[in-house]
Amino acid sequence: DRRARPARPSRASPVHAATPPHTNPTMAPEAVKKSPVGIVADLPAQKKKPSEIRAEKNEATREEGNALFKAGNVTAAAAKYTECIDSDPQDALSLANRAECYLRARQFHLALRDADAARAADPAKPKALYKRAMALNGLGRYPEAVKTLKELLAVEPEDAAAKNALAECEMLTQQAFMGDYNMPALLFGRLAMSFRRCADYVGPVAVAPIPEKGRGVVVTKDVKAGDLLCVSSPLAVAPLRAGAEMALIQGLVAAAARAPADMKLISCLPVESDAAKAGEAPVPDLALFRKHLSKGDETFPDPMPSQETFARHCAAVVKTAAVRNATSVGVYALPSFVNHGCAPNACKVVIGHTLFLRAARDMQKGEEVVMKYFEVTSPEPERAALAKRFGIDACACQRCKLERVGEAEAAA
């Protein structure tokens, strides 16, 4: 049959041209125009988990803290890190960063607490070990700092900062236990800047009751001239100029606020009082002066003394115990108990701000250690006038007693 048949639609027919491949011809035109990606984008967004939201917020807050830290505002930076830690107590990065802020503020006991918490939160990251070592170093607990740095170098053997810190802490440990100081290097500046700090050292001395003087320092064994008796860094120091007394008081208050051990130490320092004159003031334990042996269990007193009361005590300490040098004046813990003598058997040398006290002559066990507070080459009446400026009504040293007897006999 040659009758005409309907033509088959070609591949280019309007029906096929209007229908893209892999689409459903029954879909609405607006849906057909969209790609699969667009369809997925229109799906409802999945809600973030609370932990993810908290992590994002903490990250933003931590970055704010980092910016403040770089600008030198460590107090504000620590506050930002604290926000992160309050939100997530296991935020190891924020704990380590806040520990660094406390190190810069010399609040070493707080830095140690945060470094330990950061290490516990993320033991895989050794960053907190360095913070811990620096906090222990600042607290004077050098053997523990050495142990921590060796632990760090076991996992990070090429850490240059840790290597330098280990060398310094080993040197400070040797000083604190043995009194082994490289004096020529200290005197002539041959040590690197980071090594010019000295550890405190307590030699063959102890604080003891002294008749007519209250408390003083005695040798606990026979010593030879030149023997090192003690080394002390200042609790507070100020340039020798107008306003030095107030600067020292403020320095003592600040030191006590930073560390419980320093508050306890400052609280026992000598002040001129009726109890001290009568010899009734308590004798401090030498463990207070040996921070390298501390177990880190010091706490602030409860209740805390009022700021006004403690400031008055610090003022009395400065008046009684401040030691003057050529260009500065400072309060030194153990040397503050050494009484004045016009015939001194000990002499002090100050290098930087560190005080070295050595025997000026041979001394027998139990003998009191005395040093001069002022120039003692003048006659007794002139020395007596100078002594009153230091709160000494009448010098009780053997030389002054003998000279007063001689003057009385000469007058008679």
**pLDDT tens digit string along 294-325?**
888 778 888 888 989 999 999 999 988 898 88
Backbone angles phi, psi at 260, to 5 degrees: -60, -40
In the prediction, which pLDDT does 129 show? 96
Average pLDDT, the chain: 85
**Nearest partner of 77 among 106, 102, 41, judged by Cα:** 102
Instruction: Convert the pLDDT of each residue in 116-138 to its tens digit.
Output: 999 999 998 888 999 999 999 99
DSSP codes, 307-347:
HHHHHHHHHHHHHHH-EE-SSEEEEETGGGGPEE-SS-SEE
Higher-pLDDT residue of 389 and 249 is 249
pTM here?
Answer: 0.80
Please give the Cα distance from 370 to 214 (Å, whole number).
Answer: 14
Q: Among 67-81, 179-193, 366-380, which is the least confidently predicted range? A: 179-193
Please give the Cα distance from 314 to 320 (Å, whole number).
Answer: 10
DSSP category for residue 236: E
The mean pLDDT value for 89-102 works out to 95
**Two tokens, residue 366:** 């139990």
pLDDT class of 276 with cuts at 50, 70, 90: low
